[in-house]
Chain A
Amino acid sequence: QSALTQPASVSGSPGQSITISCTGTSSDVGSYKFVSWYQQHPGRPPKLIIYDVSNRPSGVSDRFSGSKSGYTASLTISGLQTEDEADYYCSSYTSASTLGVFGGGTKLTVL
């Protein structure tokens, strides 16, 4: 199955807000609310930070928020902090496969 489309990189300064997009198709993001986001620091396993488009698991900062419009889901990080520098991956349920589909990942640099 084809990966969801994410920008390769985004950057921002401490205190700013950034948004990472995740574009899919009618088989996944466009038709279902099952979009999740993961944060991965170098050498570490991914961590679930958003599920069902906009829900945060317990313990995840409310600086992380998610939304969706049409075929594109978005992750917004407000009040950027240096520890937010990491790779971010979106994932979605898809009707085109028996497993979910991930985006290619976005490297966030906090300048």
Chain B
Amino acid sequence: ETGVTQTPRHLVMGMTNKKSLKCEQHLGHNAMYWYKQSAKKPLELMFVYSLEERVENNSVPSRFSPECPNSSHLFLHLHTLQPEDSALYLCASSQGGVGGAFFGQGTRLTVV
């Protein structure tokens, strides 16, 4: 309905696991974003891709690895995460310099 879909909606993983979050946008936008939102904290921008190139990387630990194979898909690969990485991970997309950004419903990640 929002045009941006994220899977899975919920994920529980151990600290030694490897998993990936997926985001797909159906809006024809050319920029995609990953945000992290921890409990009772504001949104933190993690990565920005524009025209499939990473244009922002906000000091995110290397255990988070983004991938943008095309303008409609964005992945966040996770490995050896820490319990403090438990949060809501939100994907968003926007079109160039116009309009607002539209969000997916997020993946609620718990690291045990």
Whether both chains belong to one complex is answered with no
Q: Name A's B-contacting residues (CB within 8 A).
A: none
